Amino acid sequence: MSSTKSHFALLKAILASIPLILKTVILHGAQMSPVKGKQDLRTELTVTIIRSFLSARVPLGKTQSDGIRDPGVKGPMWISKVTLPQPEDDVRDAVLRAIEDLKTGNETYDIPEATPVEGEWTGYRAGVGKHTAEPDLSEEVKYERLREESPSDMTVLYFHGGAYFLMDPCSHRVPLAHLSRLTSAPVFSVRYRLAPQNPFPAALVDALTAYLSLLHPPPGSLHKPIPANKIIFAGDSAGGNLSLVLLQTLMTLDRASHTIRFHGKDVPIELPAGVATSSPWCDVTRSMPSCYKNAYLDYLAPPSQPSDDTPFSTIPFVPDDVWPVSPPRADIFCNSSIICHPLVSPLAAPAELWKNAPPIWISLGEEGLTDEGLIVARRLHQAGVPLVAEMFEGMPHCHGLLMLGTPASRRFFEGFSGFCRDAVAGRVKSAGTLTWLSFKLQSSKDIPIEEACATSDEQAQTLMQRNAAWRLKTEVEMLKEWHAKAKL
């Protein structure tokens, strides 16, 4: 019955979008579209439809539950579901130490519990059709079959996107199975805890637990120990953020101590072979100029601009038991006071904090998040980090995962899988350039990474701090009002 209701709701939403779809098709065909010369019809329709869904006012809880609804497993993929056992508080405490080491003022955050971490081993299953049902096998046997068809000694540790409050490993199975096919490697996709129920740094604690579990399998694990130099951190959007801040956490901890306590043993702090990110969310304040300049090409709505006269407003969800939270905060993911911390917004990390990082791949569209990704890429280059950066003209946020089978997506996965293989083999070369790929991939050019974004580090910092102060002012007022009501 619930499946029937969800299908009916989807059909209703599609029918409601028909006038918008027809308008888009007509304007595109008449060469009157605002994205003329930047997007083909399929891309423009994809952006238009997603944008309309995202603009609908619904409770956050419903949006969240829709995004984590399991569609089942079918077609050319192996999925083996596992639960990593809860570690002692040492992993959580290590994350808290890293946060404290990088604090610059009075940043505040919730202290999460250490919990078990669920995840999915994902691999390509050859010789079956799109609708072939998953075989009735144990998770252990499915993992064995997966490894038979994914024999590489490399493992991709994947963090899904969704602004830290949406999506799930089940929503990313198809593109990750495709990645497994291209790399012959298994992908471990982490079901990290979501905000607003579990704000920063809960997801980071889960990410560190997952990584340490790959290196040092707890009893009952399906996998054998995986060397750090055979692991790639990867993720899209918020998952790209999580990949980068997990790396930054490890580097921060390693500067103070070379070991971490995990399931009763002191284990070495080791960096992965590389980090691969698609449209990484590097600025949680969303303050960079591209958020507004590229909005006509993207489905992510431009944020409100800071104003002394108007309080900050988060995404306009209909109130429910999930959001707003009590006591209130302005941001879904974290307290406003910590939004410019390097482990929340990687854009806040200066170049020196990236020194000695492993190779990093950043793929971007011409999207709202373009500037923040390019500025982080510039800092990585300044720190001497082996860097591969690419940008697709006219493409929206996370286009490579959204539009599988298109020429741009095929080129995206070619770069993604190639970087993973090169990083594990130790052959990533950094030319210090951004590869810019034109509409329809008709041409490409290399742009010096120092010239790829006009926004300077100083301007970026000023924009972030202004936005953070605006949010914090609103949050302080919200808390005052909440305390006053609590006294009544």
Residue ranges covered by each domain of the chain: 2-67, 77-286+342-451
Q: 308-332: per-residue pLDDT in tens?
A: 889 998 888 999 999 999 999 999 9
Distances (CA, A) of 301 to 110, 293, 357, 369: 28, 11, 33, 11
pLDDT bin (cut points 50, 70, 90) of residue 488 is confident
pLDDT of residue 327: 95
Q: Is pLDDT at 284 greater than 50 in this prediction? A: yes
Return the number of other C-beta atoms located less than 10 Å from residue 323's C-beta: 21
- Does this model's pTM top 0.85? My answer is yes
Q: 104-151: per-residue pLDDT in tens?
A: 999 999 999 999 999 999 999 999 999 999 999 999 999 999 999 999
Q: Which is nearest to 287 in space by CA: 237, 210, 348?
A: 348
- 3-class secondary structure for 143-178? HHHHHHHCCCCCEEEEECCCCCCCCCHHHHHHHHHH
More confident residue, 229 or 8: 229
More confident residue, 10 or 183: 183
In the chain, % of residues over pLDDT 90:
89
pLDDT bin (cut points 50, 70, 90) of residue 94 is very high
Q: Is pLDDT at 8 greater than 60 in this prediction? A: no
- Evaluate whether 77 touches 172 at the Cβ level (below 8 Å): no
Phi, psi of 448 (to 5 degrees): -55, 130
Token digits of residue 388: 């591969």
Token digits of residue 458: 């100083």
Q: Is pLDDT at 74 greater than 80 in this prediction? A: yes
CA 147 to CA 325: how far, in whole Å? 43
Q: Is pLDDT at 7 greater than 70 in this prediction? A: no
More confident residue, 172 or 7: 172
Q: 422-461: per-residue pLDDT in tens?
A: 999 999 988 899 999 999 999 999 999 999 999 999 999 9
Work out the burial of residue 391: count CB atoms within 10 Å of its CB; fewer than 13 is exposed, 13-18 middle, 19 or more buried: buried
Tell me the H-state helices in 106-228.
139-149, 173-183, 202-215
**Tokens 């560190």 map to which residue?**
208
Sign of the dihedral defined by the CA atoms of residues 52, 58, 62, 64, in that order: positive
Secondary structure element (H or E) that encloses residue 78, with its range: strand 77-84
The percent helix, strand, coil of the chain (3-state, each to 5) is: 45, 15, 40
Strand partners, 387: 360
Q: Is pLDDT at 6 greater than 60 in this prediction? A: no
Q: 339-367: per-residue pLDDT in tens?
A: 999 999 999 999 999 999 999 999 999 99
Q: What is the mean pLDDT of the chain?
A: 95
Q: 3-class SS at 363?
A: strand
CATH superfamily of 77-286+342-451: Alpha/Beta hydrolase fold, catalytic domain (3.40.50.1820)
Q: Which is nearest to 80 in space by CA: 115, 119, 117?
A: 119
Work out the burial of residue 265: count CB atoms within 10 Å of its CB; fewer than 13 is exposed, 13-18 middle, 19 or more buried: exposed
